[in-house]
Amino acid sequence: MGHQDKSKPFLPLAPGPPRILPIQASMAVNRPKKNSTACLACKTAKRKCSGPPSPCKACVSANSENDCHFDPSRDLRRKVAVKRTIQELSDVRDLLESLLSTVRFATPDKIGEVVGVIKGNGSMRDIAFAVGCPVTNFADSASLSNASQLSNSEDGEQVLESPMCENFGAKARRPSEISVVSTSPKIDHHIEVPGGTFDPFARISLESLCNIPLYEVPAKPWTKVTSDDNMVSVLVSLYFTWDHPCAQFLDQGIFVEHMKSRDVESEFCTPLLVNSLLAMASAHCDSPENYLHTANECFRGEVFLAEAERLWKAQEGRPSLPNIQALLLMCSVLSCQGKANLGWLMLQQAVQLARDMDLLILPEAPNSKHMFKYDMTPDMEHVRNITAWGISSLNGQMSMKLKKVATLSLPATKIDTGGDHDFDWTPYPRSNHITYSTKRAHLPEVRQGLAELTDIMLHIEKLRYDKELNSDFDLLMARAEVPYHQLQEWLAAWPSTSQIEKEPISQILILRIKCVHVIMHLIEMLVERDYQSSKTAQLQETWFNQVEEMAQCLRIHRQSYGIKHIPSQLADSVQGALRVLVHRLEDLGEAKHAFIELYRFGVAMGQKFKSTTVIIQTIQSLSSDRSAIMPKQAIAILNGSE
């Protein structure tokens, strides 16, 4: 037995390579392929379909090739069908909401036009166009054709599984592949790679893959946060669409041109300025790359802000136009994040640099001569003018918001309304089927309007801090008549609300809202000083009239461009109105519809700007204690059922 055991072969320690059998003729026979879906024509005719690609054999035999469309989303077993159902329900809800708003607030002529479309058996899309609904993704032959062409995959899924933002369609990467470069020693240990916490429907679709940014600009050498050119291009396009027109700190064309050049020695574009701009634009996109703290959506874009702060520290206070522009952008970002006092400090640094460069007139030396004496190119003079007036405008807004003394006078040069005449504006990203007509950006006119508003704001702030008026309310009322009439004349010089509704222009709506906000601020100051309550009732009535005007402008903006992308300049106006209305919930009266519109915008902006979250949380706490006093539609918005 022992001898036999020794002669036994040892078993292999590891399995050997699999045996490869030659393909025999009997094995090479193709098995019949199981069709996962039938075309719409075969489903209607209840006949057997051979499956994709289009046209199928049955439709060819029936001479109905043009009707052969494969739509996997009709199969309720597929995930894409769930997404389609959600989208269709959202579209119908938005259409109903726009229709109700039109009936409530539109003119009789506008209502008659909508009713005529409905009675004329107009399609859902025709009705959506009539009421100005921005979402019209109702099924059409084009969408069916696209679905038919892409129905050849075995599993039938027609979306690319990726958590990237719907605008970032050029590169579909997994969360583990996202590159986040830490640049600030303060927050290195806080940086987390996003993963597993995103909306399961935030996938790249065919529509987003076809979404081309307005400006193609490189990521390198401007930022270390990402090397994705498409991502940076999308953010730059978002900034110049929604934030730049009514907060102009730089020249759009000159900046984009120099950013494309990749020249880090440029006098109009620097890494500090680019990262500050990207931090501001990040509020308009839900990409995981824009998150530093994935648990808090209000901190999106903080990676860019951290990089900008690091670069600003390395500048050691060197005066230059890009440094001033970057500080203005960082001030705006911090203000939207609920850090207005920190943003004020950034603004004061920008003011000091601007004085060092003779962009501003010193209040204590209004007749001082310029120290900067050198030949400047026309581009440099133009950008200096834009930046100077941008500082003045932002300083007036921040002093009004924080009730701080505006120690800044107007810029050293008159407003430059030249340049930027060739720029067009379109509501990027065009994420629906509406074809917007391209319109002029009106950048010079907006600069002029902002400059006039800034002058009036500085006048109002002087009234607030005039010690002579503290004890004499009648004298204060008399002097307040001057800026009040100036604001009314300013509104009369621009298109009225009814005129804007016929041809909506986002920038004009925002300017009008800004002016209404300044009027409300003036009235609030007078009410605070009316210790005898002699004029309080009259002032409050005027204030509520302005609230309704603001709500009407917001409604037009929402119906024209949706509520997903909201310019950051609207945050202070909406917050200011809600801050007063929250204490008047029991007696809103005719202002109920205005409150609902303002609250709708407040909830939407609370997801982007932390500064709005506080007032929304206050309203939520009051509604939980006294829910009966809240309008039903506001409760629906609060519960997310609207």
Mean pLDDT of 214-234: 91
- What pLDDT does residue 597 have? 92
| Higher-pLDDT residue of 125, 18 | 125
The pLDDT of residue 138 is 53
Q: Is the pLDDT of residue 182 over 90?
A: no
d(CA 313, CA 318): 10
**Distance of alpha carbon 207 from the chain centroid:** 19
Identity of the amino acid at 273: L
Confidence of residue 151 (pLDDT cuts 50, 70, 90): very low
- pLDDT over threshold 80, residue 66: no
Nearest to 208 by CA among 249, 245, 167, 179: 167
Q: What is the predicted pLDDT for the residue at 640?
A: 57
**Higher per-residue pLDDT: 447 or 404:** 447
Question: Looking at the whole model, is its pTM more than 0.75?
Answer: no
Give φ, ψ of 451 to 5 degrees. Answer: -65, -40
Residues 382 and 123: their CA atoms lie apart, in Å, by: 49
Q: According to the model, what pLDDT value does residue 365 have? A: 54
In this structure, what DSSP letter does residue 175 have? G
Question: Residue 393: what pLDDT?
Answer: 92
Does 30 score more than 70 pLDDT? no
Residue 143 pLDDT more than 60?
no
* Tokens matching residue 292: 């530093």
Each as own residue / partner, the long-range contacts of residues 531-539 (CB below 8 Å, 24 or more positions apart, any chain) are: 531/473, 532/473, 534/473, 535/473, 535/477
Comparing 491 with 102, the larger pLDDT belongs to: 491
Poorest-confidence range of 89-93, 399-403, 624-628? Answer: 624-628
Closest CA to 241 of 430, 418, 495, 419: 430
Give the C-alpha distances (Å, rounded to integers) separating 616 from 375, 424, 480: 52, 35, 32
Please give the residue that has the higher pLDDT: either 30 or 227: 227
Q: What is the DSSP letter of 241?
A: I
Confidence category of residue 16, pLDDT binned at 50, 70, 90: low
How far is it, in rounded angstroms, from Cα 406 to Cα 400? 8
Residue 402 near residue 339 (C-beta atoms within 8 A): no
Residue 428: what pLDDT? 85
* Torsion sign, CA atoms 316, 317, 318, 322: positive
Mean pLDDT value of segment 36-43: 81
Residue 217, pLDDT above cutoff 80: yes
| pLDDT at residue 156 in the model | 37
Domain ranges across the chain: 34-70, 74-149, 213-365+376-402, 466-639
Specify the pLDDT at position 300: 62
Q: Which residue type is seen at 444?
A: P
- pLDDT over 70 at 76, yes or no: no
Which tens digit of pLDDT belongs to each residue from 315-364? Answer: 998 999 999 999 999 999 999 988 999 999 999 999 999 988 988 876 55
Instruction: Report the pLDDT value the prediction gives residue 109, as an integer from 0 to 100.
Output: 80
Report pLDDT for 111: 84
Side chain identity, residue 626: R
The total of other beta-carbon atoms located within 10 Å of residue 51's CB is: 20
Q: Which residue has the tokens 């051979």?
A: 50
**Residue 392 — φ and ψ, nearest 5°?**
-60, -45
pLDDT higher than 80, residue 522 = yes
DSSP letter assigned to residue 196: S
Lowest mean pLDDT, pick from 327-336, 514-523, 533-542: 533-542
Of 291 and 509, the one with more pLDDT: 509
Name every residue whose Cβ is closer than 8 Å to that of residue 571 and which is 6 or more positions away in sequence.
Answer: 336, 605, 609, 611, 612
Q: Which of 255-269, 313-327, 520-534, 617-631 has the lowest mean pLDDT?
A: 617-631
Q: Quickly count: other Cβ atoms within 10 Å of residue 9's Cβ.
A: 5
Buried b (16+ CB within 10 A) or exposed e, 206-233: bbbeebebbbebbbeebbbbbebbbbbb
For the ranges 4-18, 329-343, 607-621, which has the lowest average pLDDT?
Answer: 4-18
Supply the mean pLDDT for the chain: 77
CA Rg value for the chain: 30
pLDDT bucket at 211, cuts 50 / 70 / 90: low
Structure confidence by residue, pLDDT tens digits, 237-296: 999 999 999 999 999 999 999 999 999 999 999 999 999 999 999 988 765 555 544 444
Which region among 127-131, 206-210, 634-638 has the lowest average model confidence (pLDDT)? 206-210
Q: Which residues pair with 425 in a beta bridge?
A: 439
Q: Looking at the predicted structure, is the pLDDT value of residue 440 above 80? A: yes
Band the pLDDT of 15: cuts 50, 70, 90: low
Looking at the predicted structure, is the pLDDT value of residue 54 above 90?
Answer: no
- Spell out the residues 6+ positions from residue 254 whose beta carbon is closer than 8 angstroms to its own: 268, 379, 382, 383
Assign 616 a pLDDT band (cuts: 50, 70, 90). Answer: confident
Write the CATH number of the domain with boundaries 34-70.
4.10.240
Asked if the model's pLDDT at residue 121 lies above 90, the reply is no
Confidence of residue 71 (pLDDT cuts 50, 70, 90): confident
Q: What kind and span of H or E run contains 425?
A: strand 424-425
pLDDT at residue 432 greater than cutoff 50: no
Q: What confidence category does residue 22 fall into, taking pLDDT thresholds of 50, 70 and 90?
A: low
Average pLDDT rounded to a whole number, residues 77-83: 64
> For a pLDDT cut of 70, what percent of the chain falls above it?
71
